[in-house]
Each structure stands twice: as C-alpha cells, then as structure tokens.
Amino acid sequence: MNKSVTKIRVRYAETDKMGIVHHANYYVYFEAAREDFIEAVNLKYSDMEDMGIMMPIVETECKYHEGARYGDDILIETSLEKLSPIKVELNYKVIRACDGKTLANGKTAQVFVDSKSFKIIRLNKKYPEVWKKFEKIEL
C-alpha cells in the first residue's frame, strides 16, 4: 500500500464568514486521513497507545490553493514521504471530488515516543511487530 483515500463532506460548522473551510480544519481532515492510512496496514492509534506508543506531531505544513465550501465532497489522498524507526512523514493532497481540483497540499511529521516518559523510541527495537506493519507501507 502506498496511499489511502479518505472522503469527507464539508460541514457548515467548518466554514468561515467567507463561506470557505477555515484553514485550521484542514488539520482535522489530515488527522482523519492519517488514521485511515495507518488502519490500512492493520494498526490503530488506540492499540498502539495501549502498548505504550504515542505519535506526537512535530511538524506540520499546509499550502492552500482554493477553498473548499460547505457541502463539497473532498478526498484526502495520504501517502508516505519518509519512514524511519523514530519518525514517520506523511503527505496529504486535498481534492474536490466533483472536478478533481487540488485544493490543498499538506505534510505532517510524527515521532514515536514512550507514553510514560515521552522519550523518543526506536520502534524497530522496542516494538518490532509494530515496525513490521509500518514497513509494509510503500514509499
């Protein structure tokens, strides 16, 4: 697997006075897409957290091209940019479903940390079974 696609319908509450999606909501969309992406390789945040693994965001970026509007169906394509035993970087492409127009591009970087100490861990050493699932994701 090298990408996943998440479909979202823009809700009225996500728009601003200009009638477009407020910029902060794209990060909410990225979160939903990221969850779908890791679930595609049989991983769940809740299972990882139960094991003692957390994945805090350490970098984010979003470039806006055109605003999505209330009622738009949007697709978020999520793909792996880079993977190491301590960090995962993902790319996002937000597309309006009706015309295929790219509305935004984004990136996030997350590190793997121990849930108690919040210290960075090497996933391949501490949780090899989880690391093997991440390795199934193609660049």
CATH number for the domain spanning 55: value is: 3.10.129.10
Mean pLDDT for the chain?
Answer: 95
**pLDDT tens, position by position, 40-70:** 888 999 999 999 999 999 999 999 999 999 9
Residue 75 has a pLDDT of 99
Instruction: Name the region of 42 (left: φ>0; alpha: ψ -120 to 50; beta: rest).
Output: left
d(CA 122, CA 37): 21
Residue 126 has pLDDT above 90, yes or no: yes
Q: Containing H/E element for 45?
A: helix 45-51
Query: Are the beta carbons of 27 and 61 closer than 8 angstroms?
Result: no
d(CA 91, CA 34): 9
List the domain range (segments joined by +) for residue 117: 3-135
Domains in the chain, number: 1
The model's pTM is 0.93
Residues contacting 60, CB < 8 A, separation 6+: 27, 30, 106, 107, 108, 109
Residue 138 has pLDDT above 80, yes or no: no
Catalytic sites, residue numbers: 16
